Amino acid sequence: MTAKVGLRAAAADDYAFALAIYVETIKPYTVAYMEWAATNKAVVLGVLKNNPARRLYERLGFAVASETDTKFMMRREARPSSRL
């Protein structure tokens, strides 16, 4: 048996539901960031070379530390008395 899937106009309750999903999915990352920011330690991340997010990371203070054929490893040094 195949279920039918369709689209409908958004209802008033949809906003609260979407916000609840967003909060639950982003919360672990927000908590991890807050804990990291309190330690004032350097952070390293990997980004695919074709990912436009690289420009965002550079604006946030990350620099390319190394690279492979497909990705950049970026590092942001600790900042004295950094704030959110």
* pLDDT (tens place) for every residue of the chain, 84 residues total: 788 889 989 898 898 998 899 888 988 888 887 887 788 889 899 999 999 999 999 998 899 999 999 999 999 998 765 455
**17 within domain boundaries:** yes
For residue 30, give its domain range: 12-40
Looking at residue 81, its pLDDT comes to: 58
Distance between CA 43 and CA 37 in Å, rounded? 10
**31 within domain boundaries:** yes
Q: Report the domain count for the chain.
A: 2
Looking at residue 12, its pLDDT comes to: 87
- What secondary structure letter does DSSP report for 50? T
**5 within domain boundaries:** no
Q: How far from 30 is each of 6, 14, 23, 34, 57, CA to CA, in Å?
A: 34, 23, 10, 6, 16
- For residues 24 and 56, membership in a common domain is answered with no
**77 within domain boundaries:** yes
